[in-house]
Structure 1
């Protein structure tokens, strides 16, 4: 059985040449079976928003992080600024809703849903801008969820979209903790942008 430390080592090898083999990465993530003793040091929650907790920067080739979701918490609809997005559920479940890209930036129209999928513990998903936009949310109103996210290449900003109008706005992407320690984001070099994690959606009110 692959440990979290072994998983990180394998990811560094896979991305050493900068290429992304989606099937290979999916298989590697599926080979890891969630073990809370290995990741609980990174699972740091906030009662007001879901958190992004950095685990590894992959020599600048990727970001690997734990996202911690309180009951009913969800992300805004967002893109990935040309990055590959892999998600593995470590605890609980997440519901993913995919949307089509808006036809134009000028036209106001509701985003069209493509599909919705639920991922339970040890489930793995993949998303990229070629597949559209998506939202992730914790469907439980009583239990928290923890997920492992891999972004290749890493990025500092993304666009979030209004489901009713299709309009977008740029948000900075920050970390709540790095390697288990709280991060001070007050003096971010992108402090003119909204913090993406602050755009948390209460899934129970939608």
Structure 2
């Protein structure tokens, strides 16, 4: 797959412009998107205006709607906040850590035949400026800020955008549809 000729994005605005160029095509080159996101060095002056925290749960803050081909969001994780185990509704998900650390736990899809504990596939801690990728063919995941003293901030790209997903009960594999809340960018 052909890659778009791009320069290293120096700012979040540069990154957004490069992503718009990449997503002009109907085909997504996962490696290219991941490389571009990794090449952007986190700078709080770039993204702080999008970071809105809630003391009870993590927040999803829209940065750019990507002309309907992708959503770019800043997710803010207070101390001890985490997501449910969830899918990505047949979308690509790129997650770049901008500040702090996040633990990502991957799970197998429940087989649907018997109810019981979901099978954990792997676990890793994502460090600042590192990028993780997942889609539904790779499994399900849960993301957590395990720190009880530090907040975390991550930049997520979803393509195509989605407004709901399935969440999973770790003990039973049972599913529930969930509409995802998001804050609009206030720039």
Q: Which residue is 1:180 aligned to?
A: 186
Q: Which residue is 2:12 aligned to?
A: 4
Mapped to 1, the partners of 2:125 and 2:79 lie a distance apart of 15
Counterparts of residues 125-140 of structure 1 (less than 5 Å): 125-140=132-147
Q: CA RMSD of the aligned region, Å?
A: 1.0
- Give 1:158 shift: 0.2
Mapped to 2, the partners of 1:143 and 1:103 lie a distance apart of 37
- Return 5+ residue gaps in structure 1 as ranges: 182-206
Aligned residue-pair number? 179
Mapped to 2, the partners of 1:180 and 1:140 lie a distance apart of 28
The runs of at least 4 consecutive aligned structure 1 residues that moved more than 2 Å come to none
Q: Which residue is 2:69 aligned to?
A: 61
SS of structure 1 residue aligned to 2:125: strand
TM-score by length of 1: 0.85
Q: Which residue is 1:81 aligned to?
A: 89
Q: For residues 126-172 of structure 1, give each alpha carbon's deviation from its aligned partner in whole angstroms, at most 9, with x where no partner exists.
A: 00000000000001111000000000000011000000000000000
- Return 5+ residue gaps in structure 2 as ranges: 1-7
Counterparts of residues 1-206 of structure 1 (less than 5 Å): 2=9, 3-104=11-112, 106-175=113-182, 177-180=183-186
Check conservation: 1:43, 1:53, Cα contact below 8 A.
yes
